[in-house]
Amino acid sequence: MLAAIDLGTNSARLLIAKVEDKQVQDVHRHRIVTRMGAGINEQGLIGPEALGRTAAALEEFHRLILSKKVADVAVMGTSAARRAGNREELAKLVTDLFGKDLRILTGREEAQLSYAGAVSALAELPPETLPAVVDIGGGSVEVCIKVKGQIQALSVEMGAVRCTENPIPDEIMRKLLLPVEQMLEQVQPVVPVGVGGTVTTLAAMDQKLAVYDSRRIHGYRLYRLKVDEMLQLLQSLPLAQRKELPGLEPARADIIVAGTRILLMMMEVLKADYLTVSEADLLHGAIMELDQGLWL
């Protein structure tokens, strides 16, 4: 078995999996909200409390990995780690526990791994179309497509946590996403595939799931009109009432408005009436890379 850890802006995530016939089979998944990227100070440092929460998550992941007799593990940092001036403190936590180097992914690498994981797990996509994988994270948004065997990927430094702390007006958001629009305008039609906590949460909310069920999330079609409706509802409610909505994890209630705004803008850029939700993402791509260096 293999394991992959993503130290993200909003949460730390663990996937333990095995690979059979070039398919990643989940064995155990675990996620802990750490808010590692929240409140990165003016010096660009991850605060001591956030580092403490991340250290506790890594210790819990380490215990789980030992109990499952994992053969190898990849530990990755994304947006918050990329911009943190004290990333060496984070790297030391990883080395001390796992004896591995922390791999800080570039935006392009993050996009590629999300693409590999998502596309490998979605067997039925419309023919004669190209999947465009959109990953909305806490600190950044990645978009990746593959055209004539060549990967094209972009990362935009805005995410659900960052845009909650520092809201971005719509016109600025559109300007930031202009390179994405330019990348995609030559490769229509594309089939948008969405990954990340914002997307899966909205899929759960759209179905009013009292208990999260990944089988009902993976492959779900999330329509732009419904995303717009949910955004209007979320914006109208105070935080306490948002926390009561079916399908919305209370710990995500404060950042879901910003994440939904980003998703809606992305769907407009993609000219997409809907996107297909994938539970497989960056972690699955990392497992594939650990197993065989596989690029789709």
| Residue 113 falls inside a structural domain | no
The whole-number pLDDT of residue 251 equals 93
Residue 138 lies in a domain: yes
State how far the Cα of 90 lies from the Cα of 188, in Å rounded to an integer: 41
Domains: count for the chain? 2
Asked if residue 265 is part of any domain, the answer here is yes
Q: Enumerate the H helices of the chain as residue ranges.
A: 48-67, 79-83, 87-98, 107-121, 160-165, 170-176, 178-184, 197-206, 214-217, 224-236, 239-242, 256-269, 282-292
Domain of 192: which CATH number? Answer: 3.30.420.150
To which residue do tokens 């899966």 refer? Answer: 200
Taking the complete model, does pTM exceed 0.85, yes or no?
Answer: yes
Cα-based torsion angle of the residue sequence 278, 280, 286, 291 in order, rounded to the nearest 10 degrees: -130
Is residue 130 domain-shared with residue 234, that is, in the same domain? yes
Q: Report pLDDT for 295.
A: 42
Same-domain check for residues 259 and 231: yes
Is 227 found in the same domain as 152?
A: yes
Could you read off the pLDDT of 194-222 as tens digits, one per residue?
999 999 999 999 999 999 999 999 999 99
In a domain, 286, yes or no: no
Instruction: Check residue 293 and give its pLDDT.
Output: 64
287 lies in a domain? Answer: no
- Low pLDDT (below 50) residues in the chain: 295-296
* Helix axis angle, 224-236 to 256-269, nearest 10°: 150
Helices 197-206 and 256-269, interaxial angle, to 10°?
Answer: 90
Residue span of the structural domain in which 77 resides:
2-105
Q: What is the CATH number of the domain that holds 27?
A: 3.30.420.40
Say if 117 falls within a structural domain. Answer: no
**Would 51 be classed as within a structural domain?**
yes
Q: Which residues pair with 20 in a beta bridge?
A: 23
62 secondary structure, DSSP code? H
